[in-house]
Amino acid sequence: MISNQDSQLVYSTDQGRITQEETKTQPPQGDGWVRIHLDRKGRKGKGMMVVKGLGLEDKKLKKLAATLKKKMGVGGAVKEFDIEIQGDKRDQLKQLLEQQGFKVKLAGG
Q: pLDDT digits over 68-104, tens only? A: 999 999 999 999 889 999 998 999 999 999 999 999 9
The answer to whether residues 29 and 57 touch, using CB atoms and an 8 Å cutoff, is: no
Q: For residue range 16-32, list pLDDT tens digits in order.
A: 556 666 777 777 777 88
Confidence of residue 108 (pLDDT cuts 50, 70, 90): confident
87 phi and psi angles, rounded to 5 deg: 95, -175
CB-CB neighbours of 53 under 10 Å? 21
Q: Measured between alpha carbons, how far is 53 from 106 in angstroms, rounded to an integer?
A: 12
pLDDT at 2 over 60: no
Would the pTM count as exceeding 0.75? no
